[in-house]
Every structure is written in structure tokens, then in C-alpha cells.
A and B are shown apart, each in its own frame.
Chain A
Amino acid sequence: MSQQHVVPLQIYAVIFATLLLLTLVTVDVATYNFGMMNIYIALAVATTKATLVILYFMHVRYAPALVAVFAAAGFVWLLLLLTFTLSDFITRGWIAGFMG
């Protein structure tokens, strides 16, 4: 009678275990110095975790496509905010160097 897909317990258990494992991974990776790569690895792991939570715990995988579009729109706009902000700050020195 339920309107929505009931996610099997095994899937929840696997997602839960994966999230805990990825937490350990991100802590462990941070103990090594990969220079600039550290932040990218940390963000990649965090985004993987967030995606798992959104798809399974938040049921987006089983929801109508429009819900997925809404969810994606939020993060795409956030990415725009960060990209344009950084495209300003990262390039500020370039002009000074060029003029200099």
C-alpha cells in the first residue's frame, strides 16, 4: 500500500558501512602530505559520501526525476558561486604581474 519504494535493509547497511569507511579514508589520507592534492581528495571523498546520502538515505534514486533535477540544481548553483568567486580571486595576481 505504501506509495514509495521501501529500500531493503541490506542496502541501508551497505551505505552506512561505506559512509563510515569513507570517513576513515578521509582521516587517513589527511595524515599524508600530497600538497595541493589533499583538498581535492578530501572534497572527492566528501562528495561521494554526500551523493550516497542523497541517493539512498534521501531516496532520490527512487524519486521522480524532477526531484533529482531540484537536488542537482542546488549544488550546480553552489558550484557556480564558488567557480566565479575563485575565478576572481585566483586571477587577481595575474593582472598585477602582467602590468608590473
Chain B
Amino acid sequence: MIKIADLHKVYGRGITKTHALKGINMEVKPGDFVAIMGRSGSGKSTLLHLLGLLDTPTSGNILIDNIDVLQLPEAQKGSFRLERLGYVFQEYSLIPEMTILENVFIPAICLGKEKSYKQRATELLKTVGLEERLSHYPNEVSGGEQQRAAVARALINRPKIIFADEPTASLDMVSAKVVLDLLKKLNRELGQTVVMVTHEPEDEKYVDRVIWLRDGYVSNPHLAS
């Protein structure tokens, strides 16, 4: 489903040049729950940004469903993200002017699923345990609830893959467990593919395998495919 070959990412120029990724090769199969782990600065968030088409690599290839996504024009990358990928950010990423329900159904409006998007958003919010928070604004709910709403938003268009960038980094332990349980449940019960960046060792128990990054390299290449 996801195949990455010789992926490099270099930031800056001259003396400020930083080689964040130095030839990453890995694969993620449908239904996998993969964690990308490593120390701060190891390149794990950079890798997830590239996989989520939020940034472009310096070189290398990314195939998603056998589509060379790096060759897509910018507008088509947006459509690809909208239709096939779900992204959960590290920090609260809801739009503060919209209610929890509106935040969740926004991506669906763009796809023109007008008749059913509110119903589906409501169902998703029930799934993540936020049925009492539909008309609340982000500043009226807890961090954990915001992050669960972000997961619901990532799921609204039935994406094939969810990318989660340290989704529990800003949460207390209880809220973090709720979010991780939710991702696990989605993976186990719905077969949702999840790629999650984390630096918490205890998160390992939720995932099928861990790909370790160190200084821009995969340090356990035998588990990367």
C-alpha cells in the first residue's frame, strides 16, 4: 500500500544545511498499525510530513496504492489528501471558529457528500465518545476531546490510511490512553491502516511493529518492510 524508496530530505543551504532523512526505505501494508519512533531530531515527523504529502522530499519515491504521489500536481495532491489520507496533528488542530461537529464534517463538504456528511460526522463523534460535544467549540472541550475530534475528522472521508503525528504528545496519560485505544480499535475492528509517529516507549504495545529512526536512517531495516 505504501512503499518508500531511498527518501531524502535536506533542509536549508550552505552551513545551515540539515540532512533530515538519508535514504529511507520502508513499506506499510493494508491494515498495518505502524509506529515510527526515534529520538528528537531523528527525522520521524519529517518522514510523516512527506508521507502525508504536506512537504516534498529532496529525492526518492513514495508510492501509495501504486500511485507515484510525488509526481502529482499540487492541486491533485490536495485532492489525494482529501480523499485517501487522514492526518492527526501533534497539537490541537481544530478550527477554533467551528463547532466540534463542523470541524469533523468540513472535509466531507468539499467532496460534495452533502446529504450524509452531518450524519456520518455525528456517528464518528459517537464512536470517539463525543456525542455530548457536537455543538461545543474547541476551546470549550479538553485537549483529549479535541484530539479525539481530530481523529474523527481524519476518518470522515473514509481514508485508506491515517497518519498520526505524536497525537498524544500534548495530552495527559488518561487522555492519551483514550486516543491510542481509539486508534487501536479503528485498526482492529475496521482494518484501518495507521502510521503513527511517537516517542513514548509505552505506545509500542498498541502497534503491530515499530520502525526506528536514528539520525535520518532506519535503524531496524528488517522491520521496515
Are A and B part of the same complex?
no
